[in-house]
């Protein structure tokens, strides 16, 4: 079938914004604890920050360079700007009309200047004088005081002044940069006979005392503002003699990349807003007027200041992995059978226990691991340092180009090198996104390998918040594949053949295409064909079109795609056999599971990769088969069937490209895959 008969794919950026609409819906649900609703609102802001820093920055770069290539154009930029502005408008409506009144009803009030009583005004004034004023340096603009450098996503004020300065001049614009060291939400002392929790934002405190910063001048128009900048680190890896040093240098300048978005208060005057647009050389579409704090992300501090368990999700205690016995050596257990850990329902402690045993076992000779996002405080990384001290050969493939984690990863790389670990940075031009941990142990007169593969990162914090699959195996062919990949990453030698692993950028996309084609051909010959895929994003056009073709050949396809999905579903004559759903719940869906059935034969793969072009062509990624039949069925039941039956947290992609939340009929019980899995594993615990 020619590509001309295939449907027009959904715009990736519009699909990403639609995902954030679904996240925003969580902030509106009355059955979700109130402070968690506020957290979802903040998550939307955080997601939008990254969207502008990365995706919108790419659009503006293409427009500025006048080298437009699909899908980038002035029209596409204006279109996503319109969609983004509607989303932001909805976000602040939820904040002002739903969350703030609901918090107030619970005795939690974020009060403005006009809502404070005399005692509160006095306290805020004292707080400003003692904690804020000493850190502020207002800058009045003139030829010797040009517009200051404004850091990415920092809080600032622009003020219009009348009257003359101390030197008799009429410079009328001033900028007040707010130090990032100050908390953005401040809790006021409790008042007698009033159990209400009162808080103020830092922007409200400064706004109330702008006149104190400009004695003998008249403060007229003013506004908060915040600029978002392009945060892509531009490092020429081919020219860089030392990638780590080059990235460190790049990090110093990231805060001052090209501006891409300007946020101002809704009442910011046209004079001030146009002045800011000119300073940042931004088009009119780049300005976002907001009815509230311009940095909603930082309102997560309110959640921490209140800390009322009744307004938070009930604490969930992950069970220790049910396949692992804590009183038996893990190596012995893995030799008996592969082990599956379903995070966060089962604890990441199982992975740490595997590494601890390797570090403390004198028979373990070598440990190899990929590092992508471990966080700044990582027990796992400390264990690797301890392994080096104990005389083991430790090789760490540290991805220091992991976006927004570069500094933490560079620091860990240096700390590992300082004790003698062998640290490599993967392959020039590619990100190492594969998640692997390989242990080599002497057993009698031979060496045995034990491997850990994961769909997620080696990060204990996100392991409590993201759904992922950890897989422990002593399969000699699988661990030999892992060793070959580690060797390639360190020496850059060619791999002749892998037994089980699929590896990007070499043949992962090709293998997936072939597997989809295999199911297609079987379906054309009368055998039942079935494909179920679970991932974070589906934006690779080649793979999307292969799925469309499979559906047209009779294959029933279910796609569980949390975020952006460019594949249109349920289009008559094109994709009526393809269904797309997105699950938005308490935990961030992060596991990647690929299921293919041809007749009675089932193949199931786990992977570190989403179906995105960058994952297939510009990253080191792996996919591996689940060979154990019982574990394969467990994944099918817990990661696929449970989510296909979800009628609480599921959204379905409609014919027109919109998403509609799944609603159970009156006769149906409420089913949330995540809640059911929490119940299941708490019973196990």
Distance (Å) of CA 581 to CA 47, 546, 560, 584, 633 = 20, 19, 5, 10, 21
Host H or E run for residue 519? helix 508-524
> How far apart are the C-alpha atoms of 277 and 262, rounded to whole Å?
7
Three-state DSSP class for residue 147: coil
8 Å CB contact between 672 and 641: no
> How far apart are the C-alpha atoms of 283 and 670, rounded to whole Å?
47
8 Å CB contact between 334 and 306: no
> How far apart are the C-alpha atoms of 48 and 143, rounded to whole Å?
35
> How far apart are the C-alpha atoms of 24 and 98, rounded to whole Å?
12
8 Å CB contact between 538 and 559: yes
In terms of DSSP H, where are the helices of 314-374? Answer: 330-336, 349-360
Residue 456: CA count within 13 A, CB half-sphere: 24
Q: Is residue 433 annotated as a catalytic residue, yes or no? A: yes
Residue 182: which of 252, 127, 222, 139 has the closest Cα?
Answer: 127
DSSP E strands, 400-555: 422-424, 431-432, 436-443, 446-454, 466-473, 502-504, 529-535
User: DSSP character for 188?
Assistant: P
Please name the residues in contact with 674: beta carbons below 8 A apart, sequence gap of 6 or more. 467, 583, 585, 586, 587, 649
User: DSSP character for 546?
Assistant: H
**Tokens in use for 549?**
């073709």
Q: What is the largest CA-CA distance in the chain?
A: 90
> How far apart are the C-alpha atoms of 111 and 88, rounded to whole Å?
22
Host H or E run for residue 228? strand 218-229
8 Å CB contact between 469 and 606: yes
> How far apart are the C-alpha atoms of 211 and 193, rounded to whole Å?
33
Tell me which of 59, 209, 342, 433 is the catalytic residue.
433
> How far apart are the C-alpha atoms of 377 and 359, rounded to whole Å?
19
Rounded (10°) CA dihedral 238, 239, 244, 246:
-130
Residue 5 burial by CB count (10 A; 0-12/13-18/19+): exposed, middle or buried? exposed
Which residues belong to the active site? 433
């Amino acid at each position: 079938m020619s590509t001309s008969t295939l449907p027009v794919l959904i715009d990736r950026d519009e699909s990403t914004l639609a995902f954030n609409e679904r996240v925003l819906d969580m902030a509106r649900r009355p059955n979700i604890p109130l402070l968690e609703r506020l957290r979802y609102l903040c998550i939307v802001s955080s997601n939008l920050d990254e969207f502008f820093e990365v995706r919108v920055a790419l659009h503006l770069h293409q427009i500025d360079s006048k080298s437009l290539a699909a899908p980038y154009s002035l029209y596409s930029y204006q279109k996503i700007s319109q969609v983004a502005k509607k989303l932001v408008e909805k976000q602040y409506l939820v904040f002002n009309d739903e969350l703030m009144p609901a918090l107030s009803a619970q005795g939690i009030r974020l009060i403005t200047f006009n809502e404070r009583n005399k005692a509160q005004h006095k306290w805020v004034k004292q707080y400003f004088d003692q904690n804020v004023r000493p850190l502020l340096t207002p800058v009045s603009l003139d030829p010797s005081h040009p517009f200051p450098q404004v850091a990415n996503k920092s809080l600032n004020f622009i003020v219009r002044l009348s009257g003359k300065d101390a030197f008799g001049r009429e410079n009328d614009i001033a900028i007040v940069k707010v130090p990032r060291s100050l908390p953005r939400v401040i809790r006021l002392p409790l008042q007698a006979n009033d159990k209400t929790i009162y808080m103020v934002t830092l922007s409200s405190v400064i706004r109330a005392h702008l006149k104190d910063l400009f004695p003998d001048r008249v403060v007229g128009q003013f506004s908060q503002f915040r600029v978002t900048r392009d945060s892509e680190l531009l490092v020429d890896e081919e020219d860089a003699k030392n990638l780590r040093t080059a990235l460190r240098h790049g990090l110093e300048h990231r805060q001052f990349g090209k501006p891409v978005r300007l946020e101002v208060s809704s009442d910011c005057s046209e004079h001030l807003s146009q002045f800011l647009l000119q300073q940042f050389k931004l088009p009119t579409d780049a300005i976002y007027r907001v009815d509230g704090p311009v940095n909603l992300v930082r309102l997560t501090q309110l959640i921490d200041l209140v800390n009322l368990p009744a307004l938070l999700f009930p604490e969930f205690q992950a069970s220790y992995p049910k396949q692992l016995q804590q009183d038996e050596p893990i190596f012995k257990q893995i030799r008996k059978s592969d082990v599956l850990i379903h995070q966060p329902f089962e604890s990441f402690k199982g992975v740490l226990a595997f590494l601890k045993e390797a570090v403390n076992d004198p028979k373990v000779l070598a440990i190899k691991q990929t590092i992508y996002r471990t966080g700044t405080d990582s027990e796992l990384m400390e264990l690797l340092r301890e392994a080096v001290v104990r005389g083991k050969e430790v090789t760490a493939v540290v991805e220091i180009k992991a976006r927004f984690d570069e500094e933490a990863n560079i620091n860990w790389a240096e700390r590992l090198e300082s004790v003698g670990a062998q640290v490599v940075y993967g392959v020039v031009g590619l990100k190492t996104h594969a998640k692997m941990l390989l242990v080599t142990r002497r057993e009698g007169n031979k060496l045995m390998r034990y491997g850990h593969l994961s769909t997620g990162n080696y990060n204990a914090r996100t392991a409590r918040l993201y759904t992922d699959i950890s897989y422990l195996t002593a399969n000699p062919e699988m661990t030999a594949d892992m060793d070959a990949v580690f060797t390639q990453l360190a020496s850059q030698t060619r791999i002749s053949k892998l037994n089980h692993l699929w590896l990007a950028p070499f043949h992962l996309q090709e293998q997936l295409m072939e597997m989809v084609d295999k199911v297609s051909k079987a379906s054309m010959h009368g055998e039942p064909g079935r494909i179920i895929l679970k991932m974070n994003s589906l934006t690779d056009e080649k793979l999307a079109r292969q799925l469309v073709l499979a559906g047209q050949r009779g294959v029933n396809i279910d796609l569980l795609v949390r975020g952006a999905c460019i594949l249109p579903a349920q289009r008559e004559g094109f994709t009526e056999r393809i269904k797309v759903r997105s699950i938005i719940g308490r935990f961030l869906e992060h596991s990647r599971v690929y299921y293919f059935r041809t007749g009675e034969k089932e193949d199931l793969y786990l992977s570190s990769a989403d179906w995105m072009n960058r994952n297939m062509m510009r990253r080191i990624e792996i996919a591996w088969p689940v060979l154990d039949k019982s574990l394969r069925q467990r994944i099918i039941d817990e990661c696929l069937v449970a989510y296909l039956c979800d009628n609480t947290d599921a959204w379905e992609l409609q014919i027109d490209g919109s998403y509609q939340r799944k609603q159970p009929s009156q006769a149906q019980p409420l089913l949330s895959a995540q809640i059911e899995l929490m119940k299941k594993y708490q019973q196990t615990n």
